Amino acid sequence: MKTVDTREVRLYSPLVPAIVAICTAAEGEDVEIIMNDIPAFNDAKEYLAEQGIGFREIYDGETMILQFRR
């Protein structure tokens, strides 16, 4: 499983590493994106939905996790 943790991203939007992970995942690869930025999390969900990629949302306090298989 490829895991990308964007919680410490400060110089640019946490959406950037999330989209990179989505776009570079191999076919059939499991991906987990950990975020704490609500707007970026919602944008990542919207992008996955537009691409027809099903995903699972996990909420743990202020941490949000997207899991999906490419």
- pTM for this entry: 0.89
Give the residue ranges of DSSP H helices in the chain. 15-24, 38-50
What pLDDT is stored for residue 46 in this prediction? 95
What pLDDT is stored for residue 2 in this prediction? 93
Provide the b/e sequence for 22-38 (b: ≥16 CB within 10 Å): beebeeeeebbbbbbbe
pLDDT in tens, 19-54: 999 999 999 999 999 999 999 999 999 999 999 999
Residue with structure tokens 């939007």? Answer: 13
What pLDDT is stored for residue 10 in this prediction? 80
What pLDDT is stored for residue 45 in this prediction? 96
Record the tokens describing residue 49, joined without a space.
């939905």
What pLDDT is stored for residue 37 in this prediction? 94
